[in-house]
Structure 1
Amino acid sequence: MQTLETSTPKIIAGKGEGIGWLTFNQPEKRNAMSLEMWQAMGEVLELFAADPEVRVVVMQGAGERAFVSGADISQFETHRGNAEASAEYNRIAGHARHLLATLDKPLIAKIRGYCIGGGLAVAMAADFRIAAADAEFGIPAARLSIVYPFDGIRALSDLVGPGNAKKILFTGFRYKAAEALRMGLIEEVTEIDALDATVLTHARAIAENAPLSIQGSKQALRELARNEADRDLDRLRQLSTDAMNSADYAEGRHAFMEKRKPRFTGA
């Protein structure tokens, strides 16, 4: 895997086999998100979005104790001590969240241990979430007098429904992986020692498939989530046309006829 330079060692990035890897690296604080981590995450996502070699992105936490345990509360006095300071913090974090939400490439959250608060918001921005059996999920906003961001509440409600969203937000309880799966908060639970292989199997499969097809499917699902009047159906038709006219479509047909594995290039 090729290691990529980042603006802080608290975010590790690399790529290989068509997969971009983004690792939250503050294990001594259970990978709590600091301001510089939000900044670096945005920079890495911009690199991945522009890199044709990266076809799928996997987010993970360093160590065994956490994906992301929330915000780095030790920075609250300096970076979120009042409304003005919080506005700048939210601008930087908001830009990274926007990049998560608008990434055209598939995004997988690989989760071990704590996935709490802002960490859960990051995980919910993924296209799907695969968790180890030791994962724990929750939103403690009500215990800190914080109003969870609207986009995060909407994503939570879309995944688990309004009733479960209210239960999670109002109580601040933590939920084990099995319960999170039952509620629809995650898509798959594995044994701890199977997590790496399971995620890698999914990521490799996506990286080997046709990028134009995946981009069209992802965009169609985004449009489906919007109000009917706001859907950009013209863009979907163009994505479909581009895919049908692509060299990859011809490659897919030829590979099928020749009974071999296709080699897609994204063109």
Structure 2
Amino acid sequence: MSTASTTDTAANATAPGKISVWREGPIGWIAIDNPARRNAVGLAMWKALPKAVDQLCAQAETRIIVLRGAGNSIFVAGADISEFETTHREPASARAYEASNTAAFAALRNCPLPTLAMIRGFCLGGGLGLAAACDMRIADSTARFGIPAARLGVGYPPSAIADVTRLIGPSRAKLLYFSARRIAAETALDFGLIDLLAADGALEEETTALAREIATRAPLTIKASKTAIDALTASLAPADLVRCEALANACFDSADFAEGRTAFMEKRDPVFQGR
């Protein structure tokens, strides 16, 4: 049995994106759907993601959730920076925005069901954060990964940084965060950022086959395994987390963040002053 539904999180021209949710037998699907902006995630979409996860988890038939980008070319190009002039104009609104990011990542990270990210094309910034919050990642050769925070002067939630660091280690995580460079799918596989590299033209087929395979396995065994693995890899102490959050929040109070946002909108290289 298959069910289909769409959660439309934005109904006007300034925020056209939505989160689409449907189920095909035991496989629940969540699509980041904003093709006009290369599937960038707007504020309403960030807020809708936890609801989408809950919606699928509430259906007893769902055994696994697959996260993808709408269309056939892009996963997620990151947060919708065109909104930042509004959502990040004041430090308080910027922190509220980041809280919605954190909640979306947490919804995937803490999902009681297995989660799998299907990646093609751009997987950047918040998109990489969403993929890293999933249990597993499969990509094709078109996938490109990067974290542009240092080009924009923004601070990332420490829990999201922890997801990436657990996958690829501190040195490679620093390479991505410090340089803001993009890496190809083959390099991402070598780093451990993705788990499987699908054959050209076979991403959806291989993703569906893997999801169906997992869906046939014992749910209680999977739940116990996921809980144990997550517990063994958690490493953020509360005091460290508070300090990390303070440093990330300070980015949104800075002149550098204003410069990064303005440079992006003006399509020029930013000039940062470290203040």
| TM-score category (smaller protein) | 0.7 to 0.9
Query: Where do 5+ consecutive residues of structure 1 fail to align?
Result: 231-267
Aligned partner of 2:73 among 53, 65, 76 = 65
Kindly indicate whether residue 11 of structure 2 is the aligned counterpart of residue 3 of structure 1.
no
The TM-score with structure 1 as length reference comes to 0.82
Residues 191-217 of structure 1, C-alpha deviations (whole Å, 9 max, x = no match) = 331101110111001111111111111
The Cα shift of 1:81 comes to 1.5
- Partners of 1:113 and 1:179 lie apart in 2 by 14
Q: Which residue of 2 aligns with 1:99?
A: 107
Q: Which residue of 1 aligns with 2:196?
A: 188
Question: Counterparts in 2 of 1:132-211, with a 5 A limit?
Answer: 132-211=140-219
- Partners of 2:64 and 2:100 lie apart in 1 by 24
- Partners of 1:90 and 1:163 lie apart in 2 by 25
Question: Counterparts in 2 of 1:102-117, with a 5 A limit?
Answer: 102-117=110-125
Is contact 1:17-1:204 (8 Å) kept? no
Residues 166-195 of structure 1, C-alpha deviations (whole Å, 9 max, x = no match) = 111111100000011011110111133110
The Cα shift of 1:56 comes to 0.1
- Partners of 2:109 and 2:185 lie apart in 1 by 24
Q: Which amino acid aligns with 2:52?
A: V
Query: Where do 5+ consecutive residues of structure 2 fail to align?
Result: 10-16, 239-275
The Cα shift of 1:104 comes to 1.1
Q: Which residue of 2 aligns with 1:74?
A: 82
Q: Which residue of 2 aligns with 1:262?
A: none
The structure number with the bigger radius of gyration is 1
**Secondary structure at 1:157 match in 2:** helix
Residues 59-92 of structure 1, C-alpha deviations (whole Å, 9 max, x = no match) = 0001233111101011101112121111222232
Q: Which residue of 2 aligns with 1:36?
A: 44
Structure 1 stretch displaced more, 66-75 or 9-18 = 9-18
Question: Counterparts in 2 of 1:75-90, with a 5 A limit?
Answer: 75-90=83-98
- Partners of 1:60 and 1:199 lie apart in 2 by 10
Q: Which residue of 1 aligns with 2:220?
A: 212
Q: Which amino acid aligns with 2:74?
A: A
Q: Which amino acid aligns with 1:157?
A: T
- Partners of 1:118 and 1:92 lie apart in 2 by 11
Aligned partner of 2:234 among 226, 231, 238 = 226
Q: Which amino acid aligns with 2:108?
A: L
Q: Which amino acid aligns with 2:134?
A: A
Residues 101-144 of structure 1, C-alpha deviations (whole Å, 9 max, x = no match) = 11010000000100000100000011110001100000010000
Count of aligned pairs: 229
**Secondary structure at 1:130 match in 2:** strand
Structure 1 stretch displaced more, 148-157 or 161-170 = 148-157
Identity %: 40
Q: Which amino acid aligns with 1:4?
A: S
**Which 4+ residue blocks in structure 1 deviate beyond 6 angstroms?**
none
**Secondary structure at 1:193 match in 2:** coil
Is contact 1:22-1:58 (8 Å) kept? yes
Q: Which residue of 1 aligns with 2:14?
A: none
- Partners of 1:168 and 1:94 lie apart in 2 by 20
**Secondary structure at 1:192 match in 2:** coil
